[in-house]
Structure 1
Amino acid sequence: MGFQKSVNGDLPIGVAGDFASTNPYASVIAGEGGLIVGDEPVTVGNFAWADDEGVVSPKKVDGGVLGFVGRSYTATILEHRVEASMEIPAGTGITLLAKGDFFAFFEDGAEIGQKVLASEDDGHVKAAEDVEGGYIDTGYTVASKAEAGRVAKITKQ
């Protein structure tokens, strides 16, 4: 474990990828053999796409199924001298979440009721009133306010 480098003035409401409630949730249906992370690692708390072969990518896949990457995995830190990682490496079995209440990180902040968008390039999350170029509407909405660089609750039921 790394040495503490900062102290929060208040407790964070959650960690990106965590469940934000005990409400029902659903996972993306996987075929025989389940879902496996492809050549590029996926990041917990982002969105990812599964193709018809069950290979998961952080980049948009034509005809792929979109799902949220939850935080339910044992840490696998492969880089030397790295203290923590939110990446799930290539070849790892994975579950993508189709709906539920989760925490997501918003670099630019988020307001209640905004659409949750996923980057087509790497699956990172953004909140906006309307869909922007390079992003896709995930069907989730923001359920709690977040200042820039903080987490907020997102929901899809």
Structure 2
Amino acid sequence: MSFPKTVSYAPAPAVEGDFCDANPRSTVNAGPGGLVVGPAGAIIGRFCWATSPNDADGAPATITNSGTGAPTGFLHREQQGLITPFLAESGMAMLPGMPATLFKSGGFWVRNAGAGAAAYGNKVFASNTDGSVSFGAAGATVAGSTETKWFAMSVGAAGELVKISATPNG
């Protein structure tokens, strides 16, 4: 770790993927041996899609940050990220084969990867390439992304942390 170059007056409100509230939340049901991270790995704090191979119940068992259609769920931060790059200070990547839990509802912190700011009540769009989050009006089109059932619960410029929830009123 390099010598600190700045001092913040207040700690960061959260890390992407953290819970943002104590409201009810629910996970994606997975069969025996599922869900596990697929061969490409997965980034915490982003949306994921479940893919084949299937588990013993016939449900998709591996997850990835890329896909088409509605994402299967959100990958919450549970201290499961590993720091594998040489001399890296932090990491949000999960290695292939690690067990994972996807959430289909709840309140979470995400990083706004879109070009525009998030406004309260905007719909959440998941990138089909990497599962990152951007925001827009309901029914809008965001290139390379799929509209989800999630909503923005706070405001935030591009690159900032924003609260999201699967419940419109939080």
Q: Same fold (TM over 0.5)?
A: yes
1:35/1:61 CA distance change after superposition, 3 Å: farther
Q: Rg bigger for which structure?
A: 2
Which position in structure 1 is the counterpart of 2:56?
none
1:38/1:8 CA distance change after superposition, 3 Å: same
Which position in structure 2 is the counterpart of 1:32?
32
Q: TM-score, normalised by structure 2?
A: 0.83
Which position in structure 2 is the counterpart of 1:102?
108
**In the alignment, residue 89 of structure 2 is paired with which amino acid?**
E
Question: Does the 8 Å CA contact 1:142/1:154 hold for their aligned counterparts?
Answer: yes
Which position in structure 1 is the counterpart of 2:133?
125
CA–CA separation in structure 2 for the residues paired with 1:88 and 1:145: 28
Name the one with the larger strand percent. 1
1:131/1:76 CA distance change after superposition, 3 Å: same
Shift of 1:24: 0.4
Shift of 1:138: 1.6
Shift of 1:2: 5.5
Aligned residues: 156
Shift of 1:10: 4.0
Deviation string 1:112-154 (CA, Å, 9 cap, x unpaired) is: 1111000001101101112323111121000001122210110
Shift of 1:78: 1.5
Question: Does the 8 Å CA contact 1:45/1:103 hold for their aligned counterparts?
Answer: yes
Q: TM-score, normalised by structure 1?
A: 0.90
CA–CA separation in structure 2 for the residues paired with 1:127 and 1:154: 10
CA–CA separation in structure 2 for the residues paired with 1:83 and 1:11: 18
**In the alignment, residue 123 of structure 2 is paired with which amino acid?**
K
The aligned runs of 1:5-24 (5 Å cut-off) are: 5-24=5-24
Question: Does the 8 Å CA contact 2:25/2:107 hold for their aligned counterparts?
Answer: yes
Consecutive unaligned residues in structure 2, runs of 5 or more: 52-58
CA–CA separation in structure 2 for the residues paired with 1:137 and 1:102: 17
**In the alignment, residue 132 of structure 1 is paired with which amino acid?**
V
The CA RMSD over aligned residues, in Å, is: 1.9
Shift of 1:110: 1.1
How high is the sequence identity, in percent, across the aligned residues? Answer: 31
Q: Specify which of 60, 80, 83 is matched with residue 77 of structure 1.
A: 83
**In the alignment, residue 14 of structure 2 is paired with which amino acid?**
G
